[in-house]
Structure 1
Amino acid sequence: MNEKKKTSAALKRLAREALIGRYGVMAGASALMIALNVLSTFIPEWVFPEYSIFSQVGQFIISLVIALLVSLFSAGFSRLALEVSHGQRPLFGNMLYPFYHHPDRFLMMYLVLVVIQLILQIPITICSQIYARTYLSQTMTLEEALTYLSFVLMCSGISTLIYVIITLRFVMASFLLLDYDDIGGIQALKESSRMMKGHKARYFYVTISFFGVMLLAVLTCGIGLLWVMPYMETTIAYFYRDLKGDVQ
């Protein structure tokens, strides 16, 4: 536990070297992840286009089901990154690995994170409704609309920050489930929390160090993400292995 861990630059260098000759499959997997996330945004409204309580409930249920499916593919993407970090040729078919290796473990882990997110959203929803009923008139002026929007954005920002702080300890859970078939979702979250003790700031630094290339990728209309996503995920795979003391 006291052995010196690798720097962000060292982990990224290892990822770049490991990805040489393996970008084709990883880029294809990245394209699939992008497509799934885009579809997950639009499908609920396509199925329930009307604005009603029934439609909102339906949209929430469909969004949750799709999010659970996408989470399994996301774990599959992590599986490919682990293969790359071990010097193996990633197999595109392993995007489905979580689907036939006790998917309930991955789903349980993700549901816990969803519950945390929903709990954090409750105060925002209540505060937004109270604010709207108390301060906004029926004919909302531009100034009132901007003030309300600022209030909602501020609350959302605070909620997101708290969520990130709480869930940073759980970021290794997917890798643990991929590595060990005999542990459950809750156990993986607990083990991830133990592994990340003293390393959360380092992980956060590693992820934000990709901000520049992510911005450039967005400026290329997302095409650059086909390169950045494998680079980032493989770096995180090396981070996980480094925590285990599995990287030379």
Structure 2
Amino acid sequence: MIFSPYMIYCYYSGLRKANTSRSYSNSLLPDTLERNGVVFMIKETSNQLKARARGTLLGHYSLPIGASILTTAAILVLEGLISLVVPKNTTGIVISYLTMLIAAIFSTLLQTGYEYLLLNMARGKQAQLKDLIYPFQTMPDHVILLAVRLFLLTLACMLPFFGGSIIFALFYQLLVSRIIMVLLLLVSLFLILKLTLDYSQIFLLYLDNPYLSCKEIMQQSKELMKGNRIRYFYLLISFFGISLLGVVSLGIGFLWIVPYMSMTEVEFYRDLINEHSQEF
């Protein structure tokens, strides 16, 4: 196949090539373009994804708000019980770390259940509070392993900074050691950012494919995010302004902001897997 300049432009402008093995009518869907018999799927903008999220939540905010409050309360209660029960001694410190690990696992499962509830809402399915416990009932070990792998990879990304810190500790009197530490810190931050973007879809992919191996889920997330990292990063930072409003409102505004942000991320995932185009 000979790639024309237009096709190359489409690729780097964030267009996905659709499956061309089937026939298409002359009347294309609103989110497609055709050139030389090749059909491209246009990715939705941040504003379009946010509009979808608002449309889904309009008149149905009570369920995600209630689920968010319930999730946060459950996590806070568990952490509070841990702090009260664990003794304040050396043995208690070890137990504290173990219980914190359990709390983190519980929190991850519950947060994934919250995403399941929003995913059902976005797809027009009946969403209920019991959706929160879906990950506890369906291959919970996969959620835990995904979280552990992500944590270990994050630690690996911090190795350059740890190395820079050691160099600075040994040669702190030299200016070059400080420069090296700062540069290695920037390297670590870049690696963590890339890691976060690459594997941002793993828990949503798990919800659609709970019986896939963790390796396959992570590979799929990385493939989906190719060419979409900047778009997703822009989507995340676009919530900065509304998050400030949540802070100004003493946190009350986050009751509506958190479901809105989370639903928009769910819509981003649905756009990645071409689910929006199938609605026409």
Structure 1 residues 12 and 125, CA gap change in structure 2 (3 angstroms): same
Structure 1 residues 7 and 124, CA gap change in structure 2 (3 angstroms): same
Structure 1 residues 59 and 69, CA gap change in structure 2 (3 angstroms): same
Matched, 1:198 2:220: no
Structure with higher helix content: 1
Task: Please tell me the residue identity of whatever aligns with 1:186.
Answer: K
1:19 alignment counterpart = 57
- Mapped to 2, the partners of 1:40 and 1:130 lie a distance apart of 40
Task: Please tell me the residue identity of whatever aligns with 1:116.
Answer: L
2:20 alignment counterpart = none
1:6 alignment counterpart = 44
Report the alpha carbon displacement of residue 108 of structure 1 after superposing the two structures with TM. Answer: 1.0
Number of positions where the alignment pairs a residue of Structure 1 with one of Structure 2: 233
**Does structure 2 conserve the Cα–Cα contact (< 8 Å) formed by 1:169 and 1:192?**
yes
- Mapped to 2, the partners of 1:209 and 1:94 lie a distance apart of 28
Provide Cα deviations, 1:93-150, integer angstroms capped at 9, x if missing partner.
Answer: 10111000111111111110111123344555565577568769xxxxxxxxxxx9xx
Matches within 5 A, 1:1-248: 1-2=16-17, 3-36=41-74, 38=76, 46=84, 47=86, 49-50=88-89, 56-121=93-158, 124=161, 128=165, 159-247=188-276, 248=279
User: Which shifted more, 81-90 or 99-108?
Assistant: 81-90
TM-score by length of 1: 0.80
TM-score by length of 2: 0.72
Task: Please tell me the residue identity of whatever aligns with 1:205.
Answer: Y
Aligned-CA RMSD value:
3.1
Task: Please tell me the residue identity of whatever aligns with 2:72.
Answer: I
- For the residue of structure 1 that corresponds to 2:198, the secondary structure is helix
Report the alpha carbon displacement of residue 223 of structure 1 after superposing the two structures with TM. Answer: 1.6
Gaps spanning 5+ residues in structure 2: where?
A: 1-15, 18-40
Structure with higher strand content: 2
* Structure with larger Rg: 2
- Mapped to 2, the partners of 1:27 and 1:219 lie a distance apart of 19
Task: Please tell me the residue identity of whatever aligns with 2:268.
Answer: F
**What is the percent sequence identity of the aligned residues?**
31
- Mapped to 1, the partners of 2:154 and 2:88 lie a distance apart of 25
- Mapped to 2, the partners of 1:169 and 1:116 lie a distance apart of 12
- Mapped to 2, the partners of 1:45 and 1:242 lie a distance apart of 42
- Mapped to 1, the partners of 2:92 and 2:273 lie a distance apart of 46
**Does structure 2 conserve the Cα–Cα contact (< 8 Å) formed by 1:30 and 1:225?**
no
**Does structure 2 conserve the Cα–Cα contact (< 8 Å) formed by 1:40 and 1:67?**
no
User: Which shifted more, 58-67 or 2-11?
Assistant: 58-67
**Does structure 2 conserve the Cα–Cα contact (< 8 Å) formed by 1:22 and 1:89?**
no
2:26 alignment counterpart = none
